[in-house]
């Protein structure tokens, strides 16, 4: 067991363990899990996960129990899955890369040390909404024609969930070589706030302002600066180019389909 001192330290330890033929098991949240997974991608290494963060969204979607005893039992069972890895401006991620309103909410959540558990995401969304003003986004999917809209956010999902169980991309598959691109166009703040709980069930896609598309490559620009967050970490800034590394990572996870939104 190694107690990590920083994100960089955890990545270095996992890389060394994999080079020595061991299986790195990350007990942390999506941030360290995502960065270790990115380092191990396109190698022969296998990664294990014991959820230990606030969101634990990759474990949630993979069906890994969120409590340690169940997670360790899944490790002992040894079933593996080959999953895609996302990349944004050369930085790798496993779950969802997003920008716009999500940039502000992620920053607030990361700074909110006194708010515990999943409540931090609701708190961050409310705080971000108070100061929010619409932005103009341009996205290009698979080198097609530019799509412009004014609104809240762009999220590119390699996986289905972020923010502690918000199924922002409920149809995303971890092994299809595609990103599910979800955009939210301009609506009133009250309507947007009322729509947030729907994301926990994946029913936000029923709203007219929400659009879902699918692509292997995505380019995103906006009329003002935004950070791009993925797996809860600030990875880069706009403009951003995203792509998929198909079947690039082997993870230990229970057999069966991915977990989707609660019915």
Distance separating alpha carbons of residues 41 and 36, to the nearest angstrom: 9
Distance separating alpha carbons of residues 25 and 50, to the nearest angstrom: 7
Residue 137: beta bridge partners? 149, 222
Distance separating alpha carbons of residues 142 and 146, to the nearest angstrom: 10
- Count, in order, helices (H) and strands (E) of the chain: 7, 13
Of the residues 87, 173, 219, 233, only one is catalytic, namely 233
- Cis status of the peptide bond prior to 239, with omega within 30 of 0: yes
Note if 233 is an active site residue.
yes
217, containing H or E segment: strand 217-222
Q: Give catalytic residue positions.
A: 233
């Amino acid at each position: 067991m190694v107690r990590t001192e920083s994100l960089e330290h955890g990545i270095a330890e996992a890389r060394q363990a994999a080079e020595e033929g061991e299986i790195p098991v990350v007990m942390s949240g999506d941030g360290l899990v995502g960065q270790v997974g990115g380092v191990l991608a396109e190698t022969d290494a296998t990664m294990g996960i014991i959820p230990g963060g606030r969101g634990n969204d990759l474990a949630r979607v993979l069906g890994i129990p969120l409590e340690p005893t169940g997670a360790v039992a899944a490790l002992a069972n040894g079933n593996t899955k080959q999953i895609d890895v996302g990349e944004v401006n050369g930085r790798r991620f496993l779950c969802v890369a997003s920008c716009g309103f999500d940039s502000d909410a992620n920053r607030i959540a990361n700074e909110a040390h006194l708010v515990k558990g999943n409540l931090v995401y609701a708190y961050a969304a409310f705080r971000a909404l108070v100061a929010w003003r619409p932005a103009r986004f341009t996205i290009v999917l698979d080198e097609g024609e530019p799509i412009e809209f004014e609104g809240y956010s762009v999220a590119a999902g390699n996986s289905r969930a972020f923010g502690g169980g918000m199924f922002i991309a409920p149809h995303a598959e971890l092994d299809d070589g595609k990103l599910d691109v979800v955009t939210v166009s301009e609506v009133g703040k009250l309507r947007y706030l009322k729509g947030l709980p729907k994301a926990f069930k994946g029913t936000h896609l029923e709203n007219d302002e929400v659009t879902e598309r699918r692509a292997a490559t995505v380019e995103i620009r906006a009329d003002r600066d935004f950070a791009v967050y993925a797996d809860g970490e600030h990875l880069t800034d706009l403009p951003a180019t995203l792509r998929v590394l198909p079947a690039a990572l082997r993870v230990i996870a229970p057999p069966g389909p991915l977990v989707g939104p609660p019915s």
